[in-house]
C-alpha cells in the first residue's frame, strides 16, 4: 500500500472497529479455529459484486480495504487481488467457482484498460498497480509501474487453469485463461530487467520480491504452456537470466530487498519483510527442490539466515517487543525505518514470519533431514543453543530438537498476532508498536488472506510444484535479458461455459480442502454455498 499518507489513526476512528481493551485470549488452536471463518468472510466481504464491504465493485474485483479515508484503499490492486485469489483457488472449493471465474473475466478486462503506465499494445499497461473498483483507470500520481502484478496474476490464473485441465476442460483453458496468462508472461519476459516500484509502492529500483515472483511465473509459465500445446519461448530464455539476477540481492547473511535504487533520498538498510513474503510465495513443496538456496526456498540456509536478520531488526524498535529476546518471536513490520501510519507492525509480515517456518518444516519432513550450515547456524543456534553444523536425519535427536523448537517458534509469531487481534476478529493493516491497537486501513483483504495461507501452511497443506527442481541452476554468466519484444493480444472470451458450472474442485482436493454438498469446506475455513439463482453468483454470506 501507499506510504505517502500521514498520521496514525486507530481502527476505531477509521471505520468503526472498536478499540479493544481485552485482547484475544485462549489457546492458539482456539484462535485459529475462531479466526478462520472470520478471515474467509473478511476476504469475501471485500469482493464484488456481492461483498457487503465492496459496494459498487464489479464482479470478481477485490477491494483492498473498505477504508476510504486516511488511508483510502477503496481500489483494486493487481498484486493483492492475485494473492487473494491464489488462496481461494488453492482451496479447491467448488462453491467458489463462479467467483473465481468472475475474477478471471475482470482481469481480462483490466488488461485492456489504457492507463498512466501504458496500454496493452506495448504491454506496458499491464504493470499499472491499481484501478478503480469499476475497472477504470486511476489517473492520479502513484508509484508506477509495479512489475510484480503480471507475474502474480499469471501464477494465480495458472493454478485455476490446472484445476480445469484436470477436469478435461482444455478448450476453456486455451480460449479463456491462456490469452490472459500469455500477455502477463510476455510482459514479465520483456520488462523484468527494468526498474519499477516495489510492493510497498515506495522505492523505484529492483525489488527482490518482484524478481522472485517473476522467476516463478516464467518457470511455471513455460511448463504450463507445454501442457496445453502452446509455447512460451521467452519464458524459457528469460527465467535463467532472472535466477542469475536474483543472486545479486544476497549480501552473505540477508536479502537486500531493494537494489539499483533510482532515488537519491533512499536511506534504508535493505532488511524488509518483503523478502520473507517472497520466500513463502515462491515456495515449491517438491522434495526434489528441497532447501535450494538459489531460489531461496523457505528452509534454505539463505532464507533462514535472512529470517533471523529481518526479525532481529525489529526486536528493539517496538514497545510491544519489549520481551522479544533473541530466540523468541517478535512483532514484524515492513522495515525498521518505516514511518507510514507511524511505522508499526503489520499482520501480513508477522503471519509470514510464521508461514516461512511452517513451509520449512514441511520440506524437512519430505526430505527426511535438516542441514545446519555456516550460513544458517545463527538461526538454529537461537532455537537450539550449541547445535553444530551438519545434516541430521529424521531419526536423530537433533532433528527432533530442531523441528520441535522451530514449530514452537513459528507458533509464537501467530500468538503475537492473536494477542493483538481485536475481539471481533477484524484484521486491519497494522497494529500499534506501542500497545498493539489495530491501526490504519481496517478489514485489509491481504491481512485476512495472509492469515489463511499461514493457517494452511501450519496444517501442512501445500500447493503444487511450480517446477523449481528443473530451474534452480544458476547460469555461469548472467545476462540482463535477451531483448524480448512482446506481442500482446486482447482476450476476447468473456463468459465461461455454463455446462461447466459446478465442476471445479469435484475431481480434486487441493490443499486438503474439499466442498461438501452443503457448501462447507473441510479444512481451514468454512466456505459459502453457491446460489444457482441470480446468474450462479455467490449468495450473500449469512453465517456471520
What are the residue ranges spanned by the domains of the chain?
A: 11-530
Pairwise CA distance, residues 500 & 494, whole Å: 15
Catalytic amino acids? 198, 201
Percent of the chain at pLDDT > 70 equals: 88
Segment 311-342, tens digit of pLDDT: 999 999 999 999 999 999 999 999 999 999 99
Instruction: Please determine, for residue 355, whether its predicted confidence score (pLDDT) is greater than 60.
Output: yes
Which CATH class name applies to 11-530? mainly alpha
Percent of the chain at pLDDT > 90 equals: 84
Pairwise CA distance, residues 457 & 370, whole Å: 18
49-75 mean pLDDT: 97
Neighbours of 517 (CB within 10 A): 6
DSSP 397: H
Segment 226-259, tens digit of pLDDT: 999 999 999 999 999 999 999 999 999 999 999 9
Omega within 30 of 0 (cis) for the link into 71 = yes
pLDDT at 199: 98
Residues with Cβ < 8 Å from 124, sequence gap 6 or more? 117, 118, 145, 191
Rg from Cα positions in the chain? 22
DSSP 416: H
pLDDT at 234: 96
Dihedral sign (CA 229, 233, 236, 238): negative
pLDDT at 402: 98
Pairwise CA distance, residues 405 & 399, whole Å: 10
* Structural contact between residues 219 and 295, judged by C-beta atoms closer than 8 angstroms: no
529-538 mean pLDDT: 29
Q: Which range is most confident: 5-19, 434-448, 493-507?
A: 434-448
Pairwise CA distance, residues 146 & 130, whole Å: 9
What is the number of residues in the chain? 544
pLDDT at 501: 86
Segment 72-118, tens digit of pLDDT: 999 999 999 999 999 999 999 989 999 999 999 999 999 999 999 99
Nearest CA-CA partner of 421 in 7, 5, 9, 20: 20
The three-state secondary structure class of 375 is coil
pLDDT at 536: 30
pLDDT at 494: 84
Buried/exposed code over 93-129 (b: 16+ C-beta within 10 A; e: otherwise)? bbbbbbbbbbbbbbbbbbbebebebbbbeebbbbbbb
Give the count of alpha carbons within 13 A of 500, CB side only. Answer: 20
Segment 114-159, tens digit of pLDDT: 999 999 999 999 999 999 999 999 999 999 999 999 999 999 999 9
266-290 mean pLDDT: 97
pLDDT at 220: 98
Instruction: Please determine, for residue 278, whether its predicted confidence score (pLDDT) is greater than 60.
Output: yes
Pairwise CA distance, residues 206 & 353, whole Å: 23
Instruction: Please determine, for residue 304, whether its predicted confidence score (pLDDT) is greater than 60.
Output: yes
Residues with Cβ < 8 Å from 517, sequence gap 6 or more? none
Q: How far is CA 147 from CA 198, 273, 437, in A?
A: 8, 18, 33
**Residue the block writes with cell 552473505:** 252
Residues with Cβ < 8 Å from 35, sequence gap 6 or more? 418, 421, 425, 451
Helix-, strand-, coil-residue percentages of the chain, each rounded to 5: 45, 10, 50
pLDDT at 18: 31
- Residue 62 has phi, psi (to 5 degrees) of -90, 125
Instruction: Please determine, for residue 528, whether its predicted confidence score (pLDDT) is greater than 50.
Output: no
Paired sense of beta strands 514-515 and 521-522, if any: antiparallel
* Structural contact between residues 539 and 529, judged by C-beta atoms closer than 8 angstroms: yes
Chain mean pLDDT for the chain: 89
Q: Which range is most confident: 20-24, 210-214, 494-498?
A: 210-214
- Ligand-binding annotation for 142, yes or no, is yes
Neighbours of 351 (CB within 10 A): 28
pLDDT at 36: 97
Phi-psi region of 228 (alpha: psi -120 to 50; beta: other; left: phi over 0): alpha
CA–CA–CA angle 83, 54, 350 (5° rounding):
40
Instruction: Please determine, for residue 12, whether its predicted confidence score (pLDDT) is greater than 90.
Output: no
What cell was used for 199? 510492493
Strand arrangement, sheet containing 204-207: 196-197, 204-207, 258-259
pLDDT at 505: 65
Instruction: Please determine, for residue 397, whether its predicted confidence score (pLDDT) is greater than 70.
Output: yes
What cell was used for 230? 502452446
pLDDT at 480: 86
What cell was used for 35? 479466526
pLDDT at 506: 53
Amino acid at each position: 500500500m501507499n506510504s505517502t499518507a500521514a498520521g496514525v489513526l486507530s481502527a476505531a476512528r477509521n471505520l468503526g472497529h472498536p478499540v479493544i481493551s481485552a485482547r484475544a485470549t485462549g489457546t492458539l488452536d482456539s484462535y485459529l479455529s475462531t479466526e478462520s471463518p472470520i478471515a474467509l468472510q473478511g476476504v469475501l466481504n471485500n469482493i464484488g459484486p456481492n461483498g457487503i464491504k465492496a459496494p459498487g465493485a464489479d464482479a470478481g474485483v477485490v477491494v483492498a480495504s473498505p477504508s476510504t479515508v486516511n488511508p483510502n484503499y477503496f481500489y483494486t490492486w493487481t498484486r493483492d487481488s492475485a494473492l487473494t485469489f491464489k488462496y481461494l483457488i488453492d482451496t479447491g472449493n467448488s462453491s467458489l467457482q463462479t467467483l473465481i471465474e468472475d475474477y478471471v473475466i475482470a482481469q481480462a478486462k483490466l488488461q485492456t484498460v489504457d492507463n498512466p503506465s501504458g496500454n496493452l499494445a506495448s504491454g506496458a499497461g499491464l504493470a499499472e498497480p491499481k484501478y478503480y473498483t469499476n475497472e477504470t483507470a486511476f489517473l492520479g500520481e502513484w508509484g508506477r509501474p509495479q512489475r510484480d502484478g503480471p507475474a502474480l496474476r499469471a501464477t494465480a490464473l495458472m493454478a485455476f487453469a490446472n484445476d480445469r485441465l484436470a477436469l478435461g476442460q482444455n478448450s476453456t483453458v486455451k480460449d479463456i485463461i491462456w490469452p490472459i496468462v500469455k500477455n502477463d508472461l510476455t510482459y514479465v519476459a520483456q520488462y523484468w530487467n527494468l526498474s519499477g516500484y516495489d510492493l510497498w509502492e515506495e522505492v523505484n529500483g529492483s525489488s527482490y520480491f518482484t524478481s522472485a515472483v517473476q522467476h516463478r511465473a516464467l518457470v511455471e509459465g513455460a511448463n504450463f504452456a507445454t501442457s496445453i500445446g502452446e509455447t512460451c519461448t521467452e519464458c524459457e530464455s528469460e527465467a535463467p537470466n532472472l535466477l542469475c539476477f536474483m543472486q545479486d540481492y544476497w549480501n552473505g547473511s540477508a536479502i537486500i530487498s531493494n537494489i539499483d535504487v533510482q532515488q537519491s533520498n533512499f536511506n534504508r538498510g535493505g532488511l524488509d519483510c518483503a523478502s520473507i513474503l517472497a520466500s513463502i510465495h515462491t515456495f515449491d513443496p517438491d522434495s526434489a527442490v528441497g532447501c535450494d538456496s538459489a531460489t531461496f526456498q523457505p528452509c534454505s540456509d539463505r532464507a533462514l539466515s535472512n529470517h533471523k536478520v529481518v526479525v532481529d531488526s525489529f526486536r528493539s524498535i517496538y514497545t510491544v517487543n519489549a520481551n522479544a529476546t533473541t530466540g523468541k518471536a517478535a512483532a514484524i513490520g515492513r522495515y525498521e525505518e518505516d514511518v507510514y501510519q507511524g511505522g508499526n507492525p503489520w499482520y501480513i509480515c508477522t503471519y509470514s514470519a510464521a508461514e516461512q517456518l511452517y513451509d520449512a518444516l514441511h520440506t524437512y519432513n519430505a526430505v527426511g533431514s535438516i542441514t545446519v550450515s555456516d550460513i544458517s547456524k545463527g538461526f538454529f543456534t537461537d532455537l537450539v543453543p550449541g547445535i553444530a553444523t551438519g545434516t541430521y536425519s529424521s531419526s536423530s535427536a537433533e532433528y527432533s530438537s530442531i523441528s520441535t523448537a522451530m514449530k514452537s517458534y513459528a507458533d509464537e509469531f501467530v500468538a503475537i498476532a492473536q494477542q493483538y487481534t481485536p475481539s471481533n476478529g477484524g484484521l486491519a493493516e497494522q497494529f500499534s508498536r506501542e500497545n498493539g491497537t489495530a491501526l490504519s486501513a481496517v478489514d485489509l483483504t491481504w491481512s485476512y488472506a495472509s492469515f489463511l495461507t499461514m493457517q494452511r501452511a501450519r496444517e501442512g497443506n501445500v500447493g503444487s510444484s511450480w517446477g523449481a527442481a528443473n530451474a534452480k541452476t544458476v547460469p555461469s554468466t548472467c545476462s540482463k535479458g535477451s531483448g524480448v519484444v512482446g506481442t500482446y493480444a486482447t482476450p476476447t472470451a468473456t463468459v465461461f461455459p455454463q455446462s461447466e458450472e459446478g465442476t471445479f474442485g469435484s475431481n480434486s482436493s487441493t490443499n486438503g480442502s474439499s466442498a461438501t454438498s452443503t457448501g462447507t469446506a473441510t479444512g481451514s475455513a468454512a466456505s459459502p454455498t453457491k446460489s444457482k439463482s441470480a446468474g450462479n453468483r455467490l449468495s450473500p454470506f449469512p453465517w456471520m
